[in-house]
Amino acid sequence: MRIINIKPDRSAHLLLAALPFVLVALTYVIASALRLSENPADKLLPAFSTMIDSIRHMAFEEDTRTGSYLLWSDTFASASRLFWALCISTSVALIVGVLMGLLPLMGAFVGPFIAVASMVPPLALLPILFIVMGLGEASKIALIVIGTLPFLIRDLALRVAELPREQLIKAQTLGASTWQITLRIVVPQMLPRLIDGVRFSLGPAWLFLIAAEAIASDSGLGYRIFLMRRYLAMDVIIPYVAWITLLAYFSDTLLVWIQKRAFPWFSDARAT
Amino acid sequence: MSVISFSHVWKEYGDQIVLEDISLDIEDRAFVALVGPSGCGKTTFLRMLLGQDVATRGAILLDGLPLHGEPDADRGVVFQRYSVFPHLTVLGNVMLARELELSPFLGRLMGAAKKDAEADSLKLLDAVGLSGAQALYPASLSGGMQQRLALAQAIMRKPKVLLLDEPFGALDPGIKADIHTLMRKLWHESNLTVVMVTHDLSEAFRLATRVVALERRRDRPEERERYGATIAKDIQIWPRRIAGTPQPRSSSRDDLAKSGAIPGRPGLAMSEQIT
Ligand SMILES: Nc1ncnc2c1ncn2[C@@H]1O[C@H](COP(=O)(O)OP(=O)(O)OP(=O)(O)O)[C@@H](O)[C@H]1O
Ligand SMILES: [Mg+2]
């Protein structure tokens, strides 16, 4: 039988999916045990038990200096930056993207500008943002917005342009005005596609968030990781990285779930 | 009233002449079938009538007035595909026409107006054989059901002219026969002038009051660019079909043809069940 025709059944599927995770964990445990047996004070690959201790300390014990629970306050700081930044990106992208894709006049007006502006490396703008907006929340949120917005706009404008011409003609023959077409035909069909765009933007958004927090901040997951680097505290850094990964994965799953629930027509319509 | 008149209409794309000196008067409530070889300009003809495209020369009049330069509610349309909105349910697709008409800002109706629109839409869905499917999304409808829905949606806005571009081209013969019965019924019962492009000659002769054939008189490769298609034949169907007066004779002939074509296939609209 050709290998392209061999499909895993349910249990094989689960097994295959779990295997890479198990392999990575196992490799780590073995390597860590080997290093620790040579030098019990080794900091590079701490044992799982050490990491669990550190996390317990970070998550459930009050920090003596600030009086807060560091893991949670860091998570809250990072998550709210990310949340507000993505809210701004998404709403601006919806408006500009739909206008650009639907109105040839707007496409001609802002299209080339956005094509050029999207080539500016956002991190190169970070110093400017710090100078102009200060070191507070605004500059960090601005960096994430600048980093994600051009892609979201261009992606959405393309999706609007991809709508079959027939739909727009048909709407006009039902007497729809441009406003009504936007409101009843285009925007409702763009919302689930915008969710797809946001999913692809989550990675870059985290990248810019951590970069901004690493350079100038006093809270946040990225700040903590870079702070701990000075003490070679791998027992905190590794769990923090895992936690960030988990958060990112969870937000992606949440977006998929929202997309399925709120737009039940979308998966079928996309298939045809 | 909806009289359409083409006078000396030419259509060129760049150097290529597609339609050449078309003059045609379509009387009120006619059912014109437009036939012709692929690429001869049938869709182009329909697009001009729809306002999606403008004639290079000549004039097209609707009830004596020049056509609007963009599609409007006077002219309904059903394409071969993509005629219905995937994000609206069957009921939502039909109601849309009313909502757009009565609610310019929100495009949505509330309260009694909404109830009314729903009731009318359900009645129309029933007439096109889609009762029971109102909560489904178009992606879960068969091709035939989607075209029924597209027809209902177009009719809901009560256009003067209904334009159809190979609307049933992708349907299998049995379903086609059912939908022909529906098409004939809609034409008889609504105040419509119909122009339908089709590749299927038997469909043209079965439904239309008049069959117009477009053709290039000169079609050698070197002549292709310089000569467009003209009206090669213009046939009045006899005995005459008159809108609003269904003829039992012609439909029984269709029934015979249908049951012969697909033995064992159960008859009319109900043969498309929701699965
Ligand atoms: N937008 C356009 N730009 C340039 N040429 C076009 C355009 N639209 C149509 N044509 C040309 O006009 C001619 C007629 O096209 P049209 O689509 O009207 O044919 P048709 O009769 O509908 O064919 P079919 O039966 O295959 O649908 C074709 O040669 C096509 O290449
Ligand atoms: Mg065509």
B220 C-beta neighbours (distance < 10 Å), count: 8
Residue from B10, B40, B165 whose mutation best tests the ligand 1 pocket (most atoms within 8 A of CB): B40
Q: B164-193: per-residue pLDDT in tens? A: 999 998 888 888 888 999 999 999 988 899
- Note whether A179 contacts B105, CB cutoff 8 Å: yes
- Note whether B96 contacts A184, CB cutoff 8 Å: yes
Burial class (CB in 10 A: 0-12, 13-18, 19+), B128: buried
Q: B24-55: per-residue pLDDT in tens? A: 999 999 999 999 999 889 999 999 999 999 99
Q: How many Å lie between the alpha carbon of A178 and the closest alpha carbon of chain B?
A: 10
Q: How many Å lie between the alpha carbon of A172 and the closest alpha carbon of chain B?
A: 5
Report how far residue B139's alpha carbon sits from residue B76's, in angstroms, rounded to the nearest whole number: 22
Centre of ligand 1 from the C-alpha of residue A81, in Å = 53
Centre of ligand 2 from the C-alpha of residue B96, in Å = 27
Integer angstrom CA distances of residue A90 from A82, A150, A168, B189: 12, 11, 24, 48
- Note whether A271 contacts B139, CB cutoff 8 Å: yes
Q: Helix, strand, or coil here: B9?
A: strand
Residue found under tokens 């059903």 = B78
Cβ-contact A81, A217 below 8 angstroms = no
- Note whether B104 contacts A189, CB cutoff 8 Å: no
Integer angstrom CA distances of residue A18 from A2, A11, A24, A157, B273: 25, 11, 10, 38, 44
Ligand with smallest separation from the Cα of B164: 2
Q: Which residue CA neighbors atom 29 of ligand 1 most closely?
A: B39
Q: A143-185: per-residue pLDDT in tens? A: 999 999 999 999 999 999 999 999 999 999 999 999 999 999 9
pLDDT score of B161 more than 70: yes
pLDDT band at B82 (very low <50, low <70, confident <90, very high): confident
Nearest CA in chain B to A188: B87
Integer angstrom CA distances of residue A121 from A93, A157, A216: 19, 21, 19
- Tell me the two tokens of residue B187: 């034409």
Nearest atom in ligand 1 to the alpha carbon of residue B214 is 21
Ligand with smallest separation from the Cα of B42: 1
pLDDT score of B271 more than 50: no
Cβ-contact B111, B80 below 8 angstroms = no
* Fold that domain A74-271 belongs to in CATH: MetI-like fold (1.10.3720)
Q: Which residues of A touch B (CB under 8 A)?
A: 164, 166-167, 169-177, 179-180, 183-185, 188-189, 263-266, 268-269, 271-272
pLDDT for B159 equals 93
Protein residues whose CB sits closer than 6 Å to any atom of ligand 1:
B 13, 18, 36, 38-44
Report how far residue B51's alpha carbon sits from residue B46's, in angstroms, rounded to the nearest whole number: 9
Centre of ligand 1 from the C-alpha of residue B135, in Å = 37
Pick B68 or A98 by higher pLDDT: A98
CATH number of the structural domain B2-77+159-271: 3.40.50.300
B72 vs A166, A172, A271: nearest CB: A172
Q: How many Å lie between the alpha carbon of B209 and the closest alpha carbon of chain A?
A: 24
Centre of ligand 1 from the C-alpha of residue B29, in Å = 27
Centre of ligand 1 from the C-alpha of residue B44, in Å = 6
Tell me how long chain B is: 275
Q: Which residue CA neighbors atom 4 of ligand 1 most closely?
A: B13
What is the average per-residue pLDDT within B188-212? Answer: 92
Q: Which residue CA neighbors atom 6 of ligand 1 most closely?
A: B13
Query: Where do the domains of chain A lie?
Result: 74-271
Nearest CA in chain B to A191: B87
Chain A residues with CB inside 8 Å of B47's CB?
Answer: none
Model pTM? 0.87
What's the ipTM?
0.86
Q: How many Å lie between the alpha carbon of A153 and the closest alpha carbon of chain B?
A: 22
pLDDT for B237 equals 82
Q: Helix, strand, or coil here: B12?
A: strand
- Note whether A184 contacts B70, CB cutoff 8 Å: no
Residue found under tokens 């073995």 = A30
Cα A121 vs. chain centroid, distance in angstroms? 18
pLDDT band at B218 (very low <50, low <70, confident <90, very high): confident
Query: Where do the domains of chain B lie?
Result: 2-77+159-271
Give the CA count within 13 Å in the CB-facing half-sphere of A215.
18
Report how far residue B102's alpha carbon sits from residue A125's, in angstroms, rounded to the nearest whole number: 49
pLDDT for B257 equals 43
